[in-house]
Structure formats: structure tokens, C-alpha cells
Amino acid sequence: MQQEGKATFQIGHSFYRPSSQLSRDLGVLAAAIYKQQTGELRVLDAMTGCGVRILRYALESGADYLWANDGNPEVHYTLRQNLAPVLEPDRYQITHEPANRIFWQCALDRDYYDLIDIDAFGSPGDLIAPSLPALKYGGLLYLTSTDGRIVSGHFPQDSLRLYGAYARSHPSVQEQALRILLGAIAQHSAAQHSAIQPVFALYSGQTYRVMARVLPKASNLAKFYGFLGYCSHCGHYESLDWRYLSRAHCANHHPPQPMSLSGPLWLGALHDRAFLRSMADLAQTWQWSKVVTLLQTMQAEADLPPYYFPLGEIGRRGQFDIPPRDRLIHALINAGYAASSTHLDPQAIKTTASLKTCVEVAQSLSISRAT
């Protein structure tokens, strides 16, 4: 038997990755806050595996009704063994259908869910559009991607095929991957006359997870959906909307140098700071100290520019020993810039300062330390 959170379960012939517990912790917290705010929580877990997420949504988030679906019928016995002793028969159902078929059937039956969890192996790109009609307005869509080499720029043609976004390689590709996923949700939602608000975006253990709230209002696509430019000559980043793509040149050079473009992708806030604050308060009550620390970092990085600077990149550009991360962050803040650590890379910073400014500030810290 395995134990995670309040759930006790068997794995059997199903798939279970202990290292993904952090993403399940965040999902459980978000679902619990949603239940507190709305008074109702119906969960559809489209690729449930052994059912650990279903159990945790029931036991910790207080879900009213749960649908555990897995395309592999061989896991049925394990699922039944895990769920039946804990959940009342009228509180859940188990099916073994392709996720697309489940979503379309929900839409036809007008059977809408507050939280749809799609813990896909590989790319979830083909599941985004059909999942949205099964989601209640204001509900939460929780996506997983494990195709890191595609969304981080190694195979841009595959990224274009799966997400409608061309991914290029650069030093902050982990954030790029999350923003491509959010951008795909935003685009498909706009096609269905909805808008999104990211709840959080997590990179952990080579897995990307994003949660977004889908809202019944005019699309915010034009405001938050664009391109990220990167200059390989000087490391400068710039976000560009569709109207200015022809100006995608780095002005730090004479003549200006072309920038490589990734996108389109989500350029707005990476997380909902207020929602994360509520999650952190609940995590504190549950004594999940590591999760509280993570959520505090995510709150700090939420509204900063859509990229980060690895400390190694700052040191390489400046040709000097890098000062401690927190010391550099404090120096940038004292210089009038916003700056924070990032959960995406413990050896990186997010800031409104340019890379050139980061190099100059870090260099002055290195000189002062040497003297």
C-alpha cells in the first residue's frame, strides 16, 4: 500500500510517479480553495491511473462528485479497490474511454465539471479544445506536459504542430514551455468565446503543469498573447505583440540585430497572486511548509517579465564570479528594479532589469566583495 496526503492506495498495474506529488499537492489546494469560494466541486480526472488524484480531491479538497477515467481497462480492478472503501457509490464513477470521447459526451449531456485534470504523458495539445466544452464557466483546467524537448525549442516544428507555437531555444526555456501551454489554452478558449486567467504554472522534475480558470467573457487574447524575442548576441529579451513583429530587432547593436522569436505564447501574469495567497494560507493550516515556501516564491515572480536570467548566463556575459543570488536580487531592488528568485530555476532570477543591467550590478557586487 502507498500513502500520499490523506490517500491510501494500491498501484497495481497502473502508473504512479511519486516525484509528481508536488503538482498533486497544488491541485488539491487549488480545488479546496475553489470549493470554499463556490460551494461546489465536481472533478473529472481524465487520465486517472491508480486514482490517487481522485482520492485526494475527495478526501482533502472536499469534492462532491468525481469521475475517474482511464483509457486502460486493465486498471479497473485497482481503481475499484482504491475508491470503493472510501467513497460512497453515488459519489463517483469509473470509466475506461478515450479522454476526447468523455469530454464530448459531457458537452452533449450538458454535464459540466468544476475541475478537469488532464495528467497526460507527452503532449496534451489535442485534448485542450475538446475539454473546454465539458468545463463549467469559471472552472479550472489543469494540464500536464512531459514533452520538454519540444516546448523548450529542440523540435520547433513539433511544437508548431502540437501547440500552434514555434519554440526556439534560449536560457529561459522552462518558462517558455509553461507559457506555450497557457497560450494554447488561451487560443482555444478564445475560439469558443471565452477568456482565461492563469491560476498557476509549475515546472517540477521535468514536468510542466498549468492550471487556468476559463471565464465567460470577451477574449483577452490580443492583450496577453504574443511573441518572445531573444538576441543571442547580447542576451536581451523583448516581448512583442502581433502588430510589431516586423520590428523584431535588438536595438543594442549597430546595425540592429535580428531576434529569434518564440510564439505565440502567453505573455501575461504567470500566476494569480491572490489565489496563490489563499492556497498558501491553507497550506500553512495543513502544515505543508515546503509548499508554503514554493507558493511564496511563485507569488513574488507572478507579474515579472516572461523570462528569467540564469546566474550562469550573467556570469558568462560579464566574465566574473557570480555573487550570491539573494544578494544580487537585493541590489537590483535597491537600484529601483523589481526582482525575485524563481521556482523555475534555483540558480536564476526574474527581474524588470535588462541583462546588461544585471551584469553591471553583479559586477559591482563582485568588485566590492573582492576589495
pLDDT by residue (tens digit) across 287-302? 999 999 999 999 999 9
- The pLDDT assigned to 337 comes to 98
Give residue limits of the domains in the chain: 2-219, 308-371
Q: Dump pLDDT digits (tens) for 337-358.
A: 999 999 999 999 999 999 999 9
Say how far apart CA 243 and CA 247 lie, in whole Å: 9
Please, what sign has the CA dihedral across residues 121, 268, 303, 136?
negative
pLDDT per position as a tens digit, 145-161: 998 888 888 899 999 99
* Percent of the chain residues topping a pLDDT of 70: 99
Q: What is the mean pLDDT of residues 277-284?
A: 98
The yes-or-no answer to whether 2-219 and 308-371 have a common fold is: no
Whether residue 182 contacts residue 196, with contact meaning beta carbons closer than 8 Å, is answered with yes
Residue 163 reports pLDDT greater than 80:
yes
pLDDT over 70 (residue 368):
no
Task: Tell me the backbone φ, ψ of residue 195, rounded to 5 degrees.
Answer: -130, 165
pLDDT of 370: 57
Domain spanning 2-219: which CATH class is it, in words?
alpha beta
What is the per-residue pLDDT for 36? 98
Domain covering 308-371 in this structure, CATH number: 3.30.56.70
How many Å apart are CA 185 and CA 256, to the nearest integer? 34
* pTM exceeds 0.85, yes or no: yes
Cell numbers of 105, please? 459526451
